[in-house]
Amino acid sequence: MKIIVTGSCGFIGFHVTKKLLDLNYNVIGLDNINNYYDIKLKKDRLKILKTYKKFFFHKISIEQITPLKKIFKKYKPEIVVNLAAQAGVRYSILKPFSYIKSNLVGFFNVLSLSKDHKIKNFVYASSSSVYGANRNYPFVEKDVADHPIQLYAATKRSNEIMAHSYSALYNLPTTGLRFFTAYGPWGRPDQALFIFTKNILKNKKINLFNRGNHSRDFTYISDIVDGIILAVKNPAKKNKKWNPRKPDPSSSIYPFKIYNIGSNKRTNLIKYLKLLEKFLERKARINYLPLQKGDVVDVFSKTDNIKKELKFKPKVDVEEGVKNFVKWFKYYYKLK
């Protein structure tokens, strides 16, 4: 089985690619290794992936159609997992155009080549941020998700809608996965856990927006990977019972599906920080700040659909997850 994974040097892409290689898939990894965060981390992830014989890597940008076309032609993949994107909520306020390039143009290129090559299963990263101004907790896929509060969320919701049009036009099976705050070893340096850890160890103050009154559905990376693998193995099917008079946005009469992937638990940011202090055996110095523009205050998933339909089961709780992250951080940065 040949599978293209875009964003293979990223946090989630690296873990998924490694898991697919362990499962004996041939993986064609694509990434432009951009400098949104420390390139060394991306290169070190790539070094690990390159130890596998069945891994083939190309450094390309998905918004450039010509090299992408050549790769599809050369490898003739059966499955595509599109994870390459400009991630980050706050950065989308500073650099909106990079989201248009990677998340809209890039996404369209990958989708369109998947159609041309009659891919059997197109899986892509969406995000819990699509729930935007929605306050109907926990967030369920059948809820309307058309009120994004920043451009990042708007591009992710657009991906879902674009995917639906190709499932309808070309019978392309597409599955969008709305990840809820992934965290864990090899994580992203722009995410809270990474920044908090660095600052605590340097005895630097931590900025806590909304005075720490945020809560997130922190989802450990191995659970995120399990969900992606389940989607890879189970292409979206047509929902024959779908009612166009009362349309459920998460499925369709076409082969289209959307799933939440979350831990199904709400964790307050202060609790997350306290766990970090416990495992680092150090106290944090905190700078309490007001809410930042574009931030969603409370995020909490309902994951009944993926549990019922694909037998998804999140296994790692936040205590164990934070402990594993601290262990990895100390190992990677050679700290005692």
Ligand X SMILES: NC(=O)c1ccc[n+]([C@@H]2O[C@H](COP(=O)([O-])OP(=O)(O)OC[C@H]3O[C@@H](n4cnc5c(N)ncnc54)[C@H](O)[C@@H]3O)[C@@H](O)[C@H]2O)c1
Known catalytic residues are: 152
Backbone dihedral angles phi then psi of residue 59, each to the nearest 5 degrees? -90, 95
Does 9 participate in binding ligand X (rule CB under 6 A)? yes
Number of neighbouring beta carbons within 10 Å of residue 333: 10
- Binding piece for ligand X, criterion CB under 6 A, among 29-37, 65-73, 192-200, 289-297: 29-37
Q: Specify the residue, 247 or 333, whose C-beta has the smaller distance to ligand X.
A: 333
> Which of 31, 57, 168, 55 has its CA nearest to residue 111?
168
How far is Cα 265 from Cα 219, in angstroms, rounded to an integer? 9
* Residue list 264-323, contact with ligand X (CB under 6 A): none
Among 17, 31, 91, 272, binds ligand X (CB under 6 A): 31
How far is Cα 266 from Cα 88, in angstroms, rounded to an integer? 20
Contact by Cβ (8 Å): 117, 216 = no
In terms of Cβ atoms closer than 10 Å to its own Cβ (0-12, 13-18, 19+), residue 202 is exposed
How far is Cα 5 from Cα 47, in angstroms, rounded to an integer? 16
Smallest gap from residue 203 Cβ to ligand X (A) = 27
Among 4, 5, 11, 251, binds ligand X (CB under 6 A): 11
- Binding piece for ligand X, criterion CB under 6 A, among 175-183, 238-246, 277-285, 297-305: 175-183
Smallest gap from residue 62 Cβ to ligand X (A) = 4
Smallest gap from residue 99 Cβ to ligand X (A) = 9
* Residue list 78-137, contact with ligand X (CB under 6 A): 83-87, 102, 106, 125, 127
Does 158 participate in binding ligand X (rule CB under 6 A)? no
Does 229 participate in binding ligand X (rule CB under 6 A)? no
Angle 176-179-183 (CA atoms, 0-180°, nearest 5)? 150
Among 3, 4, 5, 7, binds ligand X (CB under 6 A): 7
Phi-psi map region of 211: left, alpha, beta (phi>0 left; psi -120 to 50 alpha): left
- Binding piece for ligand X, criterion CB under 6 A, among 11-19, 115-123, 193-201, 208-216: 11-19
Does 192 participate in binding ligand X (rule CB under 6 A)? no
- Binding piece for ligand X, criterion CB under 6 A, among 2-10, 49-57, 135-143, 166-174: 2-10
Among 3, 4, 13, 316, binds ligand X (CB under 6 A): 13
How far is Cα 183 from Cα 221, in angstroms, rounded to an integer? 6
Q: Specify the residue, 10 or 235, whose C-beta has the smaller distance to ligand X.
A: 10
Does 42 participate in binding ligand X (rule CB under 6 A)? yes
Backbone dihedral angles phi then psi of residue 82, each to the nearest 5 degrees? -95, 105
Cβ contacts of residue 256 below 8 Å, gap of 6+? 163, 164, 167, 168, 173, 174, 175, 236
Chain residues binding ligand X by CB under 6 A are 6-7, 9-13, 31-34, 36, 42, 61-63, 83-87, 102, 106, 125, 127, 179, 181-182, 188
